[in-house]
Structure formats: C-alpha cells, structure tokens
Amino acid sequence: MLSNFYTCPSFNIVNESEKFGGRRGKRMKKWTWISLIAIICILFTGVGKANAAEKGKRYIGLHDRILPIEDIRVIDGDTKVPLKDIANYLYLPVETKDGKTIIQKQGKEFIFDHSTGTTTLDGVDQPWKPIASIDGQLFISVKYIARETGFQFEYFQEHHTIRIYRNEFNHISHEAFKEVIKAHGTKQPPVSTSNASKKATVYLTFDDGPNQSTLINNATLEKYKVPATFFFLGNQMKQNESIVKTVSKSGHYIGSHSMTHDKALVYNSTESFIAEMAGGAELVEQLTGKSANLVRVPYGSKPLVTPSMQKSLIARGFKLWDWDVDSNDWRYTDKQAGQIVKNVQEGVTKAVKSGDKDIIILLHDRSQTTIALPRIIEWLQQEGYKFKAYEPDNHIIQNFLRDPLL
C-alpha cells in the first residue's frame, strides 16, 4: 500500500515531518500526510478509471449485427438508449397518454410516470430508474428491457458493446461477433444519399396471398416505408377481398399468381394456363380498379411454361417475373426465420457481385416470413439498397425463359 502511495507525485514526507519537534509529533504528522496522500491518490485513480471507462465508441448489437443507434449513454453505471430507437428494433409498442408512457410486450406492461419519474412493471414500482427522462427524451436501460422481454445479453467490455440475442434464432458465436464489432468500428461514415442511390435496387415480392400473413407483411412494409410487389392467388382473393384492397391502398403493386396454384390445372394446356393467369389479373382489376399486367407463374417459368404458353402471354399483353434471389422461406419454421434472413443476405450479395442492378427477391406470405421481414429490410437499408415496387412504365426483364418480350 505505502509503495503505491509514494508513486503519487510532488510530496516529500520526510522533509515535511522534520518540521515538527518531538518524535511523537513527527509520527503523527507523518501519518497525517500519508492519509492525505492516500485520499488524493484514490481520488485521482478513481477519476482516471471513470474517464477511461467513458472513452471509446459504444455499440448495441442485435443478434448478428450492430444497430445504428448513436445516442448511447452510461447513466449511473447503466447503459441506456433512446426508447424510440430501441423500440423500433425490439418491436415495442409504445403509447403515451395522461402523462404516462406505456410499453406492452411479452404479456408485461411497463409504465413510466412523467410527473414522478418512476417506472412500474405490471403495477410494481421498480426500485431504480430503468427509464429516465433526459432533456425531454426517454432513455431506457438496454439490459433491463432485453431481460424483461425474453432476450439474453452479453457485454463485451473491451469493445463497449452489449449484444442482445435470442437462442431460438440462429446466430453466430460471441467470439465471431467480436469480429463484427471490430469491422463495424473500422467502417467509413455512411455514404451520402447521392452515393447510396448508385447501389442496386431491390424488389421485395410476396407470393401466395392474400391471407393473414399478408396483413402483417403489409404493416411491416408501412412501418419501414418500403414499397413491394404482391402476386395473389385468385381463389384467395375471393375470400379476402378487404386484404386485397388494403394492400392496394398502401401503394403496393399486385400481380396475378394464377387462380389455384394447382400445377396440374395451371399447366394442363395453353388454354388452362391463360385462364388461370388472366383470371387472377381480372380479379385484381375488379377489386382495386388497377390493371395487373405482371404475372408470376407457379413454380417459376422454366421448364413448365411451354413456347405456346409463352406466346399466349405476349399476345395478351402480360409481362412475366421470376426472381434473382430465392429466400426459400417456405422451407423453414417460425423458429428458423433467421435462416431466411441469411438466405436473402447471401443471395443479394451474390447478385451484386454478378453486376445485377435490379434484384428481385422471392418471399411468401407466410408466418415465418413475417418474422424475418423486419430484419431483411433493416439489413438492406443498412447496406444502402433502394426499394421499389413494380413499375409498369419501367419494366425490368427478369424471366428464366430469357424472353425480352416478357
């Protein structure tokens, strides 16, 4: 202990103690000075450590990525972020009324009282401040909200990073995630909008609706302000007319995916093929008042579409879209939604490397896709891709038949 004290600068204990007459006085004075030096050293050491802890950029990770949250603060030793920011990524329904902010998630209700600054969970006062109001903005404890809503978390002290994750989603190891943090820290600042526009355009497309999953996907698209293209089945449209109208009013393009999706019926003959595809297009027009000249044939155009069917589509003025990236979402369960995200990421990356500037992504209106969709959109946005729905006046040729007329 004493050797540590002597490392503190600018104090000469021997000289100071010699000023006092008497052995006892010298001893008392000596220990007084030692006590003072100890206190000073502790104070300086504590300040030094506190300052060191605050240095460096801080990050919040979700599963396998770093969230673009900039305002991360350490308040009373606890990492907090703006509630509005983390709510977007953890899908926290936030409502403010009667001077209170209410969050309901996983069957739990969190209430922050703006007048008292207190937080309750299911009516029970929290003994500390997991939510705090700072300069008129609410900040919430990252670890607290993660734990209470079913997430696990890992803190990487050397990288000032908290990673939030769920075990039911496939994710990389913590060791591998350290490399993600390092790579993110060395990235250049985001490119300007003019540079971002030079990146490829992506077209999110959804097959097999309309159904209840269509409504969820539509709500997610609205939340992220992303346009998309839906290929509906005629028989499904007859049973869900209101959903068709909702999707159309949201500004998305709706095309025909046949009436039945029955391979034997659709491809029985050229006549049955056209009847199936045209029937779906006619229903779209009846329900929305908009033409549906773009079709997607069940199971893809090659090798099922015959030259005769091909000519009939052209003669009727139809255009045909297959896809560049297959998410294979239909193969997975809700718990495997993370694999759908990875399939899209890998497919888009491969398409870009091949020089593709207009990338059509195949998805379906299914429950597992509703889970994966927010993460797909967030990744595409983070990478700087531009989203579009199908534009009849700016048709993109993408069919496995390699027919420029389709």
Q: 35 burial class (0-12, 13-18, 19+ CB within 10 angstroms)?
A: exposed
The answer to whether the CB of 126 falls within 8 A of the CB of 137 is: no
Number of helices and strands in the chain (H, E): 15, 21
Of 322, 329, 364, 365, catalytic: 364
Tokens of residue 230, six digits? 């839906």
Let me know if 395 is a catalytic residue: no
CA distance 264 to 99: 61
Query: Residue 332, Cβ neighbours under 10 Å: how many?
Result: 19
What is the chain's length? 406
- Beta strand pairing call for 161-165 and 152-156: antiparallel
Q: Alpha carbon of 329 to those of 41, 300, 338, 402: distances in Å?
A: 61, 15, 10, 25
CA geometry: angle 374, 137, 93, nearest 5 deg: 35
Tokens of residue 179, six digits? 């490399």
Dihedral class, residue 328 (left if φ above 0, else alpha if ψ from -120 to 50, else beta): left
Let me know if 171 is a catalytic residue: no
CA geometry: angle 360, 61, 341, nearest 5 deg: 25
Task: Please report the DSSP string for 239-260 in residue order.
Answer: H-HHHHHHHHHTT-EEEE--SS
Of 207, 324, 329, 365, catalytic: 207
CA distance 235 to 271: 18
User: What residue type is 312 in one-letter code?
Assistant: S
Largest CA distance in the chain: 119
Q: Alpha carbon of 296 to those of 81, 126, 255: distances in Å?
A: 44, 54, 7
Active site residues: 207, 364
